[in-house]
Structure 1
Amino acid sequence: MQARLLIPKIKKLYDKYMEYDADQLKKETLDLGFESRTHGNIEALVARGFALVRAASMRELQMAHYDVQLTGGLAMCRGHVAEMRTGEGKTLTATLPMFVRALAGEGALLATSNDYLAYRDAMWMKPVYNLLGLSIGVIQTEMSREQRRESYKCDITYGTMKEFGFDFLRDHAARREQQQRDFYYGGASGGVAQSPMAVSVHRKPHFILIDEADSILIDDARTPLIISSAGDDSSQQQETSLYQWSADSAPKFEEDLHYWYDRERRKVDLTPEGTALVRETVKPRDLAGIGLLQMYDFIERAIQVYRDYKTDRDYVVRDGEIVIVDEATGRISEGRRWSRGIHQAIEAKEHVKVSVDTATHAKITVQSFVSRFPHMAGMTGTAWTSVREFKKIYGMGVSVIPTNRKPQRIELPIKYAPTEEEKLQQIAVDVKEIHELGRPILIGTRSIAKSEIVSNVLRQIGVQHDVLNARQIEREAEIVENAGQKSRVTVATNMAGRGTDIKIDDEVRELGGLHVIGTEMHESSRIDQQLFGRCGRQGDPGSVQLYICAEDKLLESAFGKQKADRIRKTAKIRGRRYWIRLFEKAQNKVESQHYRSRKILMFNEKQLAKSQREMGLDPILDNFE
């Protein structure tokens, strides 16, 4: 049934349920649960289920779902990704599909981007679920296995995709160990074999709802979830030395002379001149006995790291360790590591301890993990531009949900400057002018390093401001809470682009609302739109302004350094419209490259898993990297 026909029915039932007491609401939930377990027809449960949740929300939170939220909930119940603009209440909307899917009694998971949001949303919505007789759990990084098991036993469980995935890997390893023990020793006690599921914390996969679905399912799809175990340390010192020698040697190698670079596959291949340079480069004594082929492999990896992985953009060095920064969200990716030696090559580049004493114990991609759920849905503020990828890779449609109130956000024309210095001067002039009007300003940057450069520029012109990046994560809630206040200026990485709701008061509305500045175009238009979506929430006024310059890194990502340098020679000759078209073309090209690389990854993972199964191996546990 279409949403416009279903909504009046939901509202009529809502009026009825508002007259029920708590016991009657719980009884209605039990009746729906019985129906769900008997016939499993979701469509038959939606009207009553949504009306129950709406009534419970009104009683406990004094919030009744808007029509557009009911429409979004229906889309998610049907397995779609619901695109809902920022401020439209995705957290409340999620209670609708979570409740309906949890009625089957098989558990429902909601995956968010970080522990803070998982805990905040779970505690916020807990009274709604509890009033209807459903239990709710939340997974946090510091929890023990037993605590996690109790949380997964609940009807509804909130957590991060990372924690859900790591728990799945640990369960998989624990079940194998249990099966081996039962095979050799006839069971843990008394010769009675224990069920493999008894050692797991997860329940059997049933339904997962993914918040910020484009970030988790698309941007993070190329980075697998890995847990490590102790490896063979017999050649640890030699391998450490090889990583360090390769990292120190990488700057000597020039593109097109010593190596070719495939941008689509992000792969380095040495030329004959490059292999000659490897042979000629002085090597430490402890590399005696290392074969040339292995040296070529390590040098190619070191070159890739030297040119593609940048500190304070892709990672930070914290307490002597390399910690990944997710560009799409600007957040620290705790517990994640790059595979195939990339992480160790970065450690050598940054001269921190090289962690070669670990081996891959279990590994799974996000794509492979979510494909185990028979029912899946998503929600985000930016999905339509990736509609083809959601459909082709995950089999999910995208439903664009209208806003509750007419948007008033003004998108100002893109501004162009020939150089980075001129662009920053232009931003500084505009910030000072808008700041003097009393409007709050949010300035978005692509990396930690860029946020600190912009901060220095503002300091020089005497504009007080806050900086929000992965180094100030403990102040995130405070900075975001104040970012919409009069005359407030906030410089932020993409941490401020997702999962944040910047509210403004009536005085700021009269001044024109929040002004958002993008200091450069991202490799994905979705990330730009996430930043711009911080203003103009729920019909509020606001404006956005994007700045570009010929020195921006997007040109190199799309066309390569040599072609980008040739183009930049015309920086002061060609006009603004030419550069805008060029940047849009570059962004489309990089997005297409990333899409193809994700398709290749998925194909390769499927082929590898198929081959491993044919050989009687486990694709998750039997890794030979």
Structure 2
Amino acid sequence: MWGILSQFGMVSARGEFNRAQAALRRVTIAERDLGSFTDEQLLRESSSLRYRAKCGDALDALLPRAFALVRETAGRQLGMRHYDVQIIAGTLLARGCLAEMATGEGKTLSAALPLYLHALSGNGAHLATANDYLANRDAEWMRPIFAALGLSVGVIQSDMLPDQRRAAYACDVTYGTAKEFGFDFLRDRLLGSEHGLLNTGFHNHGEHRAAQFVQRDLNYALVDEADSILIDEARIPLIISQFESASSAKLTAVSKWAADIVGRLEQTTDFVLDPEISTFRLTPAGRELIRRFPKPSTLAGIPVSDLYHSVEQAILVHQRFRREQQYVIQDGEVVIVDEFNGRIANGRRWRNGLHQAIEAREGLAISPVSSSAAQLTTQELFLRYNCWAGMSGTLLPAAREINSVYHRPTVAVPLNRPCQRSHWPDQVFLTAAEKWTAIVEEIRTVSQQGRPVLVGTRSIEKSAHLSQLLDQAGISHQVLNALHVRSEAERIASAGQQGQVTVATNMAGRGTDIGLGPGAAELGGLHVIGTELHESPRIDRQLSGRAARQGDPGSDRMFLSLDDEILEAGFGKEQSAKLRAAAQKRKDTRGLASLFRSAQHQVEKRHAGQRRQLIQSALRRQDQLEQLGLDPFLEVEEDASIALS
């Protein structure tokens, strides 16, 4: 297919970029005669390429004409002709690279190029995006291009039945989410285990059995928002759960008892933080206290070790979990808010009793504990494909980690037009109250100039807090808190109108461009305000990148305070308290902005280490189980990670 060196990341980013530039010249030559072709002639040319691909012609040889066909067809069907930089991006993605494309540079249109090329063989090509809405939107948007060239397009949605999924995967190009692709892989795996087909490629074991699987063998995947899926969510495995038959009455009793007594325990005396696994452990004195606490008769017969565990989970909830930050309550149930994208994670559950501890604190009905029937990580999923690639606007900061884990280069794609974003100096305040006051004043000043303003927050709770302050100040605005993905995308698209103020969680509307309304560019374009640093600098960069797309003017500024969570997360509670006290004593915050970036770096470094350990452990375990003839995705070890059910 492609050279061994590029497939395993042994070719430098510069070498891949040079190859992509050379491919652009070949595409330009290959498209010279296509302008005079009729639509029927373009379709026949596409059929010829499909025949050659199925006969084994190398994709590298087919690329110039294939890309030329897609470029010409996109111009006719959508009125959008690929820019040269999009051809470069498409080449990188076809070759299995990670391509960084800035916000607004046309990733959706660029993706049509490698998807078409890899679908020519008839083995399918998948695009994995962030949510069902974007999958359906992008599929419908690109469908006219593929249809005009004789290729079918399918979409996977979370509420689909198996027959509908099977039909979507049978199409030449299939759009969906990484989560749905992973779950379908696991469900097929479970089905295969029932027939004794535990090895890779069990789809090939007879037509009758293969017809029961929804997926075909995995050929090519293109991962949109690749840093979010491959890096940020790498610590969260995809899991198919099964509920255990343990007594629900005892589970309810111990969870509620632990929630009732947790407030009577003191840190350092009764429990301590275990820095190795970022959770809390009872001290010997704490365990003694638990044994002496009065207990209702409903706890009779429950092992003391289970009591310790339930109390430790209750401590973790009490110390670290906040409603409207890590979770929300919907229809009487705890629903997780994804920490990286701010979106509601329907179907996801914390494991090892943590979910039940939160339900107990909130006074909700206690749900059954679940165990894992099958699981895999996103890394394991995409490594099963014959070839895969990824794209995002914020990949370069993670390039070293991506290369160490996935063994492939990350290449920056040049901008189609020079960036005109202006970065305003960071503002640092002693307290959060002072910071919020300054943010409201900047919103007032900039919006009164007629410029649109986008404000990013780290949580739903803080979006609501800022909204309340804006209401008190009489500033009209809209709030996007990622509770409703479809309306979120539609409303974020209108955030570039003159004078429009939009408050959103940092990742709300990701995947949707903010186009400037009439007259907004002349006034200075979109102004983006960050209200605190995220644990990952890539998410801050993604937020600021919403401004000044495609050569438009724009600006951004970050507001910080010594109360921000990032300081404690990076330096610890004691050190961050000392920094806060010293700054408040001298009443001067000048020069402190670098401390926030340093704390952020410490958190990102710690998370990167955890991700490396996760994939190394998963790969070792996978090798060991396969050597024993076992399925590594079904022989699941229980742990305390987050589950998807």
Counterparts of 2:307 and 2:490 in 1: how far apart (Å)?
49
Matching residue of 1:176: 193
Structure 1, residues 228-259: CA drift from partner, whole Å, max 9, x if none?
Answer: 224224x2221222222223333333333322
Structure 1, residues 572-610: CA drift from partner, whole Å, max 9, x if none?
Answer: 326434421110110000001111111122223233334
Contact 1:260 1:269 (8 Å CA) reproduced: yes
Contact 2:343 2:483 (8 Å CA) reproduced: no
Moved more, 224-233 or 34-43: 34-43
CA shift for structure 1 position 307:
2.1
Matching residue of 1:485: 497
Map 1:440-455 onto structure 2 (within 5 A): 440-455=452-467
Counterparts of 1:547 and 1:422 in 2: how far apart (Å)?
10
Structure 1, residues 312-338: CA drift from partner, whole Å, max 9, x if none?
Answer: 112211111121211222211222222
Counterparts of 2:619 and 2:272 in 1: how far apart (Å)?
28
Matching residue of 1:116: 133
CA shift for structure 1 position 483:
0.8
Contact 1:264 1:594 (8 Å CA) reproduced: no
User: Is 2:27 the partner of 1:15?
Assistant: no
Matching residue of 2:538: 526
Matching residue of 2:436: 424
Moved more, 331-340 or 214-223: 331-340
Compared CA separation, residues 55 and 585, structure 1 to 2 (3 A): same
Matching residue of 1:137: 154
SS at match of 2:388: strand
Opposite residue 603 of structure 2, the aligned amino acid is: V
CA shift for structure 1 position 27:
2.4
Contact 2:497 2:517 (8 Å CA) reproduced: yes
Opposite residue 131 of structure 1, the aligned amino acid is: A
1:535 to 530, 547, 552: 547
Contact 2:74 2:81 (8 Å CA) reproduced: yes
CA shift for structure 1 position 614:
5.0
- After TM superposition, the score normalised by the length of structure 2 is 0.91
Matching residue of 1:469: 481
Opposite residue 203 of structure 1, the aligned amino acid is: R
Counterparts of 2:207 and 2:553 in 1: how far apart (Å)?
61
SS at match of 2:425: coil
CA shift for structure 1 position 175:
1.9
SS at match of 1:482: coil
Contact 2:49 2:120 (8 Å CA) reproduced: yes
Moved more, 458-467 or 332-341: 332-341
Matching residue of 2:589: 576
Counterparts of 1:414 and 1:279 in 2: how far apart (Å)?
51
User: Is 2:609 the partner of 1:608?
Assistant: no
Opposite residue 52 of structure 1, the aligned amino acid is: L
Contact 1:210 1:377 (8 Å CA) reproduced: yes
1:592 to 571, 586, 605: 605
CA shift for structure 1 position 366:
1.2
Map 1:200-349 onto structure 2 (within 5 A): 200-233=213-246, 235-263=247-275, 265-349=277-361
Counterparts of 2:302 and 2:583 in 1: how far apart (Å)?
48
CA shift for structure 1 position 36:
2.5
Compared CA separation, residues 279 and 194, structure 1 to 2 (3 A): farther
SS at match of 1:511: coil
Opposite residue 436 of structure 1, the aligned amino acid is: Q
Moved more, 241-250 or 486-495: 241-250
- The aligned length equals 613
Contact 2:133 2:486 (8 Å CA) reproduced: no
Matching residue of 1:78: 95
Opposite residue 70 of structure 2, the aligned amino acid is: V
Compared CA separation, residues 392 and 529, structure 1 to 2 (3 A): same
Contact 1:179 1:196 (8 Å CA) reproduced: no
How high is the sequence identity, in percent, across the aligned residues? Answer: 44
CA shift for structure 1 position 3:
2.8
SS at match of 2:403: helix
User: Is 2:505 the partner of 1:499?
Assistant: no
Contact 2:34 2:72 (8 Å CA) reproduced: yes
Contact 1:264 1:593 (8 Å CA) reproduced: no
Opposite residue 371 of structure 1, the aligned amino acid is: L
Counterparts of 1:548 and 1:290 in 2: how far apart (Å)?
48
Counterparts of 2:68 and 2:627 in 1: how far apart (Å)?
49
User: Is 2:69 the partner of 1:52?
Assistant: yes
Opposite residue 490 of structure 1, the aligned amino acid is: T
Opposite residue 125 of structure 2, the aligned amino acid is: A
Contact 1:266 1:304 (8 Å CA) reproduced: no
Moved more, 610-619 or 500-509: 610-619
CA shift for structure 1 position 162:
1.1
Q: Gaps spanning 5+ residues in structure 2: where?
A: 1-17, 198-204, 639-645
Q: Note the aligned Cα RMSD (angstroms).
A: 2.0
Moved more, 245-254 or 138-147: 245-254
User: Is 2:583 the partner of 1:566?
Assistant: no
Opposite residue 91 of structure 2, the aligned amino acid is: L
Contact 1:81 1:378 (8 Å CA) reproduced: yes
Opposite residue 601 of structure 2, the aligned amino acid is: N
Map 1:351-500 onto structure 2 (within 5 A): 351-356=363-368, 358-473=370-485, 475-496=487-508, 498-500=510-512
- After TM superposition, the score normalised by the length of structure 1 is 0.94
Matching residue of 1:189: none
Moved more, 412-421 or 354-363: 354-363
Counterparts of 2:476 and 2:411 in 1: how far apart (Å)?
41
CA shift for structure 1 position 611:
4.4
Opposite residue 168 of structure 1, the aligned amino acid is: F
CA shift for structure 1 position 451:
0.1
Compared CA separation, residues 610 and 5, structure 1 to 2 (3 A): closer
Matching residue of 1:510: 522
Moved more, 257-266 or 440-449: 257-266
Contact 1:111 1:208 (8 Å CA) reproduced: yes
Counterparts of 2:440 and 2:483 in 1: how far apart (Å)?
23
Structure 1, residues 184-233: CA drift from partner, whole Å, max 9, x if none?
Answer: xxxxxxxx987542211001011110000000111111111122224224
Opposite residue 103 of structure 1, the aligned amino acid is: L
Counterparts of 1:607 and 1:62 in 2: how far apart (Å)?
50
Opposite residue 362 of structure 2, the aligned amino acid is: E
Contact 2:93 2:390 (8 Å CA) reproduced: yes
Structure 1, residues 483-514: CA drift from partner, whole Å, max 9, x if none?
Answer: 11111101101243621211113411110001
Structure 1, residues 85-133: CA drift from partner, whole Å, max 9, x if none?
Answer: 1110000000011011111211110001011110010000000001111
Contact 1:72 1:82 (8 Å CA) reproduced: yes
